[in-house]
Amino acid sequence: MSGTAAPLIEPDRLATELARPDPPTLLDVRWRLVGPPGRDDYTAGHLPGAVFVDLDTVLCGPPGPAGRHPLPEPAALQAALRAAGVRAGHPVVVYDDGDGLAAARAWWTLRWAGHRSVRVLSGGWSGWLAVGLPGTVEVPTPQPGDVTVTPGGLPVLDADDAARLGAADDGVLLDVRAAPRYRGETEPIDPVAGHVPGAVNLPAPEYVTEGRYLTAEALRDRFAAAGVRADQPVGAYCGSGVTAAQTVLALHLAGRPDAALYVGSWSGWVADPSRPVATGPTPAG
């Protein structure tokens, strides 16, 4: 497979591809914000041939001023992906438990790193099992890959970019967190509640449920209702750049491959106390 892969693949289609002589590289990226690590789930059972890749320590850099899930260091990411068997130009499929969050961030990270042929398994591990496909506890030993990480494959916003997009009349910055967090009524994780001034609230459940997206047409309509225009820039953020990666994937499905991710997201924004914070139900607060 060459070029940019369609972002999603259904379980039956993946099963067919895995039966071929040279199947896609399969990465298990199951992850939880809190609770037991995803590796425990992988050990208990996973797709045949899948290699576990940790979102916190491989697909993201260490938490700090750039947020809770900042960009990984390219050389470290390249080494980890090669160890997982990722090959230059060879298709990759990523999956999580089924909510699609970690898989979307893995998709985004590989695309940002310059690997164009990467897809997310619709329904993840639970969707695979639901249609009667087999799991295994056998841990494969992949042949080392030769992928080269080349950052810049997808657009990124930093805090200054997010501020400018929020203030712009000819673009939209989407805040995809739950409405009470956007309004500043509650903040369960980060030290400050509210939103980036000018950001428009579009909670993720309005267009994706348990990793299942609206149709492309419905996605376009929903994003248009939030102010997204075909000829204007669009970016997205959440708490730490995981849910918003799913938003970027949804925007790709809606025909916006230029959509940008504010990787630092709210956790990065509030790391600098000098940055303004808006509250209330409107973009300006």
Q: Which residues are catalytic?
A: 238
First to last CA, the chain: 47
Q: Which two tokens stand for residue 78?
A: 């390249």
Q: Check if the beta carbon of residue 7 is closer than 8 Å to that of residue 120.
A: yes
